[in-house]
Amino acid sequence: MEYRYLGNSGLKVSVLTMGTFTFGGRGDFAMVGNHGVSEARRLVDLCIDNGVNLFDTSNMYSLGRSEEILGEVLEGRRDNVLISSKARMRIGDGPNDEGVSRHHLIRECERSLKRLKTDYIDIYYMHEWDGRTPLEEMLAALDTLVTQGKVRYVGCSNYSGWHVMKSLAIADRDRRPRFVTQQIHYTLEAREAEYELLPISVDQGLGVLVWSPLAAGLLSGKHRRGQETPEGSRQFAGWSEPPIRDEEKLWRIVDALVEIGAERGVSAAQIALAWLLERPGVSSLVVGGRNEAQFRDNFAAVELKLTDQEHQRLHEVSKVPFIYPYWHQRNFAKDRFNDADLALHKDYALD
* Cβ partners under 8 Å of residue 314, min gap 6: 188, 253, 256, 257, 260, 271, 275, 306
Closest by CA to 311, choosing from 336, 279, 288, is: 279
Give the pairing of strands 3-5 and 12-14. antiparallel
Residue 64: phi and psi, rounded to 5, are: 95, -15
Cα Rg for the chain, rounded, in angstroms? 20
* Cβ partners under 8 Å of residue 342, min gap 6: 280
DSSP conformational letter for 35: B
Distance of CA 98 to the CA centre of its chain: 21
Give the pairing of strands 282-287 and 207-211. parallel
Active-site residue, selected from the candidate residues 61, 120, 159, 186 = 61
Q: Please indicate whether residue 61 is annotated as part of the active site.
A: yes
**How big is the CA angle at 195 (ends 194 and 197), to the nearest 5 degrees?**
65
Which residues are designated catalytic?
Answer: 61
